[in-house]
């Protein structure tokens, strides 16, 4: 067993390279981000407010725990979702299909701040800061309110009504309506009381309530597909399937994107396409992602919850339950290996509490050591975002540099080391398992994060595109 101090020293030295890794991102030619960008209305909800709202609706514990489907048909469902995520310290996104719910949220949840939302939007903003030469974002609706959420950078582009490529923040497509999602954030150790019973939130996290017809119908801007089809980017970050449902033509909407993905790859086989799974409630849509999309992309990003979601869709109830009961590095690594084998996706990355793990094919175009550099940069950027609550300037990206990695992460590395039969793994983070390369890094944990939304997106993007 290697002494914990020398393991920490190793990682401390590796982390010191993060600014140099970041500087190399300027050499990336282009990134396309699709398909979802929206406006997030972020509210911090205290346990006290939640307790009061539950009382106002007269909901019993039994009412709150009675969740038949994870979607929103009434305001009570919103409270159910928040209560569930608060008590478990987890992140979920539930969908509302009725505009009345949107109106209710506007009136009753309010807004602490508006910011860029959704995988493509968040990643496009963050990646533009690194100096990548061209970041092209797909946006289904781009009126002024949405354009305002884009950073004012000339390398961050989208399409106006005529299909002209322009800095996204300068565009206004006034006939379109911005989609606003509600992000209800809560803090670790806060408490909620129902029927005299007190529940303590184990981990700061958030519940997302989404009413978004553009996303339900996966509205795709033809200017974006025409442009990126002819000028395929070096990297594509893909997401936006999570609000689809089987009842609402979700499966055919999903399939509509297959030729688009294939075209990117055909026109430029070197393009690396990454899919961020996101919180996808509909089981059939999850299955379709596994069957149709995961095999044709190069890389996939998931968190602990989404790992369980995929296991469920793969009908591995046992492993899903193991991971839910005990989300340890060991269990999640087993899950990741299972998903990797089942889907044959060349690279899968999991970000979990204190640790990121990548499993990739031996011949993946990004070497394990570069991957590790990307993952370290991702951990620095994520901690910086958590600590300062923002990533908007170049300096923000490495604000958390110099902090030591967490013990949970080291412990996780040791568990993986045991599992893959590599006693030195915790002091390298690079190994082999069943013919795949394993890359894992311990992260920096910020105890009281100022924000968490978009964290996974940031991690996935830096890990992959910063892998240089
Ligand atoms: C989902 C939500 C979006 C949020 C994002 C954060 O895409 O729809 O509102 O910003 O997740 O990762």
CA distances from 355 to 76, 370, 444 (A): 35, 17, 9
Q: Give me the torsion for CA of 413, 416, 418, 423, rounded to 10°.
A: -50
Q: Which protein residue has the closest C-alpha to ligand 1 atom 1? A: 118
- Give backbone dihedrals phi and psi of 159, rounded to 5 degrees, phi first: -115, 135
Question: What pLDDT, in 10s, does the model give residues 1-17?
Answer: 788 889 999 999 999 99
Q: In the structure, which protein residues have their CB atom closer than 6 angstroms to any atom of ligand 1? A: 36, 38, 40, 93, 117-119, 181, 208, 210, 278, 453-454, 456-457
Beta strands at 156-159 and 134-137: parallel, antiparallel or unpaired: parallel
Say if CB 451 and CB 386 are below 8 A apart.
yes
Ranges of residues in the chain whose predicted pLDDT is under 70:
none
Say if CB 209 and CB 76 are below 8 A apart.
no
For residue 148, the CA-to-ligand 1 centroid distance in Å is 17
pTM confidence score: 0.95
pLDDT at res. 32: 98
For residue 119, the CA-to-ligand 1 centroid distance in Å is 6
For residue 222, the CA-to-ligand 1 centroid distance in Å is 23
pLDDT at res. 161: 97
pLDDT at res. 69: 87
For residue 103, the CA-to-ligand 1 centroid distance in Å is 19
Q: Which protein residue has the closest C-alpha to ligand 1 atom 11? A: 118
Beta strands at 235-238 and 272-276: parallel, antiparallel or unpaired: parallel
Helix, strand, coil percentages for the chain (3-state, nearest 5): 45, 20, 35
Mutation choice for ligand 1 from 40, 92, 212, CB with most ligand atoms inside 8 A: 40
pLDDT at res. 44: 94
CA distances from 210 to 10, 49, 249, 375, 448 (A): 43, 21, 18, 30, 26
Place of tokens 């993007």: 461
CA distance 374 to 271: 18
* DSSP one-letter code for 252: H
């Amino acid at each position: 067993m290697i002494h914990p101090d020398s393991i920490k020293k190793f990682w401390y030295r590796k982390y010191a390279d993060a600014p140099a890794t970041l500087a190399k991102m300027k050499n990336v030619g282009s990134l396309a981000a699709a398909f979802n960008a929206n406006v997030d209305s972020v509210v911090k909800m205290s346990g006290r407010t939640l307790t009061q709202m539950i009382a106002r609706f007269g909901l019993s514990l039994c009412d709150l725990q009675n969740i038949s489907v994870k979607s929103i048909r009434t305001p009570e469902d919103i409270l159910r979702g928040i209560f569930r995520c608060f008590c478990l310290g987890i992140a979920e996104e539930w969908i509302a299909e009725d505009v009345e719910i949107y109106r209710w949220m506007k009136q009753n949840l309010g807004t602490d701040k508006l910011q860029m939302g959704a995988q493509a939007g968040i990643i496009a903003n963050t990646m533009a800061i690194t100096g990548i030469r061209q970041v092209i974002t797909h946006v289904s609706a781009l009126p002024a309110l949405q354009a305002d959420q884009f950073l004012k950078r000339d390398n961050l582009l989208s399409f106006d009504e005529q299909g002209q490529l322009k800095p996204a923040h300068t565009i206004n497509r006034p006939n379109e309506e911005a989609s606003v999602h509600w992000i209800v954030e809560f803090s670790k150790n806060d408490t909620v009381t129902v029927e005299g019973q007190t529940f303590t939130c184990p981990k700061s996290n958030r519940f997302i309530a989404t009413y978004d017809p553009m996303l339900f119908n996966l509205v795709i801007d033809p200017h974006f597909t025409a442009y990126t089809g002819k000028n395929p980017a070096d990297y594509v970050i893909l997401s936006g399937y999570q609000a689809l449902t089987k009842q609402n033509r979700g499966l055919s909407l999903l399939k509509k994107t297959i030729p688009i993905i294939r075209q990117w790859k055909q026109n430029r086989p070197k393009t690396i396409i990454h899919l961020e799974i996101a919180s996808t409630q509909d089981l059939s849509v999850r299955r379709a992602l596994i069957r149709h999309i995961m095999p044709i992309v190069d890389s996939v990003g998931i968190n602990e919850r989404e790992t369980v979601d995929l296991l469920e869709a793969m009908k591995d109830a046992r492993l899903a339950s193991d991971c839910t009961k005990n989300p340890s590095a060991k269990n999640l690594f087993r899950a990741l290996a299972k998903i990797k084998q089942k889907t044959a996706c060349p690279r899968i990355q999991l970000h979990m509490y204190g640790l990121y793990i990548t499993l990739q094919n031996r011949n993946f175009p990004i070497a394990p050591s570069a991957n590790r550099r990307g993952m370290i940069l991702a951990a620095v950027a994520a901690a910086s975002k958590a600590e300062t609550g923002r990533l908007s300037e170049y300096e923000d990206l490495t604000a958390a540099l110099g902090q030591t990695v967490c013990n949970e992460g080291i412990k996780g590395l040791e568990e993986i080391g045991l599992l893959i039969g590599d006693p030195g793994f915790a002091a390298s983070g690079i190994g082999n398992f069943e013919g795949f390369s394993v890359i894992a890094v311990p992260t920096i944990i910020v105890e009281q994060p100022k924000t968490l939304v978009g964290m996974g997106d940031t991690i996935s993007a830096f890990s992959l595109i910063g892998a240089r």
